[in-house]
Chain A
Amino acid sequence: MSLVEIHGINKSYGALPVLKDVTLDVEKGEIIAVIGRSGSGKSTLLRCINGLEPVQAGAIRVDGVQVNDPKTNLRKLRQEVGIVFQSFNLFPHLSVSDNITLAPRVVKKQAPAAARELAREVLARVGLEDKLDAYPSQLSGGQQQRVAIARSLAMRPKLMLFDEVTSALDPELTGEVLKVLESVAQEGMTMILVTHEMGFARRFGSRLVFMHEGRIHEQGPAAAVLAGPKTHELQTFLSAVLH
């Protein structure tokens, strides 16, 4: 059984279809890089996987649990599926430590001292141990995004979703976030990344998925697909993003 099974999902916003019959299986430990133009449905696909967006048809199962079933406890599912957003979405009124420990304390009922220890540990993994008591507004964009990744890691998810996590960052800050992504990847985390970082996709992506007009247009081993795109649309897209 695959960790993520997506079968023939369809989704539209009103009359506008955004996902058309998308099917994708993700094995444990895989790193999927999802690329495509804006509006191709890649972010929506990601948001459907943890139930932030409902689908109108098809089925999504994560670790055997059906996401798009009204009976499913989405709270439980979301504890196992981390998501990191383009705009970080840290809680501005909470310190870094409280941002990270909120869900472990409230959802998993961890003792405050244990949760703080956990915060220290995940912050060390993103190289920001010294920011434990800082507030988000005191951090750079890159640091905020690394805290957001640490916040997700603190829930010990089985799967992590990354929605264009470097797109809001200056090029020099992108590097520090990519380095964190690399280390998470090397620890064996199953990851699905919507990204424009082709270099990262080539080096760490086990599979590359190209989305075009709401469909998976082409997919395959990342390096091979990037080196020899088969469809005209992917060739055009790659020549546009790689100059």
Chain B
Amino acid sequence: MIREFGLIDVMYLIAAARWTLALTATAFIGSALIGIVIAIARILPFAPARWLSATYIHIVQGTPLLVWLFVMFFGLPLAGISVNPWLAAAVAFSVYGSAFLGEIWRGALVSIAKTQWEAGASLGLSLWEQLRHVIVPQSIRVAIPPTVGFLVQLIKNTSLAAVIGFVELTREGQLTAAGTYKPFAVYITVAAIYFAMCFPLSQWSRSIERRLDVAR
């Protein structure tokens, strides 16, 4: 039985977009938690920490996100760990995102002049205190625009979770298209909903960037 593509389907798509946002938020928090560790490990005066974190970044950035999704979804059950699509997607996106945020934030940390570290050290601040009170507060300004830019990418990339059956906006679109035989109308609607989520964020990112340029 073929039904029409109507307002009720649009409402279902918007409802599914909540899962896109939920996955984005979870993945962003996971990426941020691992990313901050990676970023700091990359700049420590302790070679093994730098080496390990650099290797992590190279491996993650050198492999497709889609493959990470499959590895988490199909691989972990082989190891006896049962995963649902939600958990597999959250972990895969966190791993993927942490490598990118780690690099973005490392860049922000090293953009702060070496003399700021020295000024902190000369006052008797420990390495952690220099980071906490001198370096991190200054690098946040630098990090905000690219971090928001990353968030926009993350929202769009969560559509990949559809392939492991996680019902978010894109998966809901596939289901609706299959039921209504109106793929064009459905996917245009899906695209419009993604745009409605991403556009305000990229505008916000741009306005922050402009403000920081003026302040500089």
Contact = CB atoms under 8 A, between A and B. Distances in A.
Contact of B137 (A52, A78, A93, A107): A93
Interface in B97-132: 115-116, 118-126, 129
A92 interface: yes
Contacts of B118: 52, 85, 89
Nearest to A83: B122
A81 B138 CA distance: 26
B126 A89 contact: no
Nearest to B134: A91
A151 B123 contact: yes
Contact of B124 (A75, A87, A93): A75
Contacts of A103: 123-125
B133 interface: yes
Contacts of A93: 137-138, 141
B74 to A, nearest CB: 47
DSSP class of B's interface residues: helix, strand, loop or mixed? helix
Interface string A64-87: 000000000011101101110101
A78 B115 contact: no
A50 interface: yes
A208 interface: no
A31 interface: no
B133 A75 contact: no
Given A91-B134, A92-B138, A107 B119 contact: no
B111 to A, nearest CB: 13
A177 interface: no
15 contacts: A76-B124, A78-B121, A79-B124, A85-B118, A85-B119, A90-B119, A91-B119, A102-B125, A102-B133, A103-B123, A106-B129, A107-B123, A107-B124, A151-B123, A155-B124
Contact of A106 (B121, B125, B141): B125
A52 B121 contact: yes
A52 to B, nearest CB: 6
Interface of B: 115-116, 118-126, 129, 133-134, 137-138, 141
B58 to A, nearest CB: 28
B119 A78 contact: no
Contacts of B119: 85, 89-91
A126 B195 CA distance: 57
Given A87-B115, A89-B115, A91-B134, A102 B122 contact: no
A90 to B, nearest CB: 8
Contacts of A81: 122
Contacts of A82: 122
Contacts of A107: 123-125, 129
A89 B125 contact: no
Given A75-B126, A89-B115, A151-B123, 4 more contacts: A91-B138, A103-B124, A106-B129, A155-B123
Contacts of B137: 93
B142 to A, nearest CB: 11
Nearest to B129: A106
A106 B137 CA distance: 15
Contacts of B138: 91-93
A106 B133 contact: yes
Nearest to B141: A93
Contacts of A90: 119
A85 B115 contact: yes
Contacts of A50: 122
A11 B120 CA distance: 24
A89 B137 CA distance: 15
A68 to B, nearest CB: 16
B23 to A, nearest CB: 34
A152 B118 CA distance: 13
B116 A78 contact: no
B124 A78 contact: yes
